[in-house]
Amino acid sequence: MQIGEFSIEPIPVTHSIADAVALAITTSIGTVIHTGDFKLDPTPIDGRLTDLKRFRELGDRGVIALLSDSTNAEKPGRTWSELSVANAMREHIGKAPNRVCVTTFSSNIHRVQSIIDASYAVGRTVIPVGRSVVQNIQMSLERGFLKVERGALAEPSYYDNIPRSHVTVIASGSQGEAQASMTRIAKATHPYIRLDPEDRVIWSSRRIPGNELAIGSVTGNLLRAGIELLDDRVPHVHTSGHAFADELGDIISAVRPRFFVPVHGELRHMRAHAKIAEGLGVEPANIFIVEDGQPLVITDTPQGSLMRRDEPVHTGHIFIEGDGLNRVDEVVLRDRNILAETGIVVVVAVVDDIGALVSGPEIATRGVIHVDANAGMMNALRDEVTAALDTGELERGDDALAEDMRLAVRRFFRRELGKKPIVVPLVMRV
Strand 228-230 and strand 200-203: the pairing is parallel
Q: Is the dihedral of CA 133, 135, 139, 142 positive or negative?
A: positive
Give me the residue spans of the domains in the chain. Answer: 2-77+241-309, 82-230, 326-429
- Separation between Cα atoms, residue 191 and residue 155, nearest integer Å: 13
Q: What is the pLDDT of residues 278-306, one digit of tens each?
A: 999 999 999 999 988 899 999 988 877 88
Q: What is the pLDDT of residues 307-322, one digit of tens each?
A: 898 888 887 777 777 7
pLDDT, averaged across the chain: 92
Q: What is the pLDDT of residues 174-201, one digit of tens each?
A: 999 999 999 999 999 999 999 999 999 9
What's the rounded mean pLDDT across residues 8-37?
96
Nearest to 164 by CA among 72, 100, 121, 90: 100
What's the rounded mean pLDDT across residues 96-100?
96
- Strand segments, DSSP code E, in 175-328 are 200-203, 228-230, 259-263, 296-301, 304-309, 319-321, 326-328
Looking at 2-16, 129-143, 319-333, 336-350, which range is the least confident one?
A: 319-333
- Strand segments, DSSP code E, in 27-149 are 31-34, 65-69, 100-103, 125-129
Q: What is the pLDDT of residues 361-387, one digit of tens each?
A: 888 888 888 877 788 888 898 888 888
- Separation between Cα atoms, residue 11 and residue 63, nearest integer Å: 14
- Separation between Cα atoms, residue 307 and residue 299, nearest integer Å: 7
One-letter amino acid of 167: V
CA 422 to the chain's CA centroid: 31
Omega before 361 within 30 of 0, i.e. cis: yes
CATH code for the part of the protein at 82-230: 3.40.50.10710
Residues in the chain: 430
373: left (phi > 0), else alpha (psi -120 to 50), else beta?
alpha
Looking at residue 324, its pLDDT comes to 64
Looking at residue 309, its pLDDT comes to 87
Between these two residues, 88 and 418, which has the higher pLDDT value?
A: 88
- Separation between Cα atoms, residue 104 and residue 146, nearest integer Å: 16
Q: Considering only CA atoms, give the Rg of the chain.
A: 30
Looking at residue 171, its pLDDT comes to 97
> Is there a contact between 109 and 204 (Cβ–Cβ < 8 Å)?
no
Q: What is the pLDDT of residues 74-83, one digit of tens each?
A: 999 999 999 9
Q: What is the pLDDT of residues 310-359, one digit of tens each?
A: 888 887 777 777 766 677 778 888 888 888 888 999 999 888 877 777 88
What homologous superfamily does CATH list for 2-77+241-309? Ribonuclease Z/Hydroxyacylglutathione hydrolase-like (3.60.15.10)
Looking at residue 378, its pLDDT comes to 86
What's the rounded mean pLDDT across residues 392-410?
82
The CA-based angle 422-423-425, given to 5 degrees, is 155
Report helix, strand or coil for 9: strand
Q: Give the number of other CB atoms < 10 A from CB of residue 32.
A: 22
331: left (phi > 0), else alpha (psi -120 to 50), else beta?
alpha
One-letter amino acid of 70: S
Nearby residues of 230 by Cβ (< 8 Å), 6 or more positions away: 92, 200, 201, 202, 203, 237
Looking at residue 138, its pLDDT comes to 96
> Is there a contact between 258 and 305 (Cβ–Cβ < 8 Å)?
yes
- Separation between Cα atoms, residue 176 and residue 20, nearest integer Å: 26
Which CATH number applies to 326-429: 3.60.15.10, 3.10.20.580, 1.10.357.10, 3.10.20.30? Answer: 3.10.20.580
pLDDT at 392 over 90: no
Query: Is residue 377 packed enough to be buried (19+ CB in 10 Å), middle (13-18) or exposed (0-12)?
Result: middle
Looking at residue 202, its pLDDT comes to 98
Q: What is the pLDDT of residues 214-249, one digit of tens each?
A: 999 999 999 999 999 999 889 999 999 999 999 999
> Is there a contact between 420 and 410 (Cβ–Cβ < 8 Å)?
yes
Query: Is residue 213 packed enough to be buried (19+ CB in 10 Å), middle (13-18) or exposed (0-12)?
Result: exposed
Q: Residue 394 — pLDDT band, cuts 50, 70, 90?
A: low
Looking at residue 401, its pLDDT comes to 86
Nearest to 381 by CA among 371, 393, 394: 371
Half-sphere exposure of 281 (CA within 13 A, CB side): 8
What are 319's strand-pairing partners? 328
What's the rounded mean pLDDT across residues 12-18?
95
Looking at residue 390, its pLDDT comes to 79
> Is there a contact between 101 and 171 (Cβ–Cβ < 8 Å)?
yes
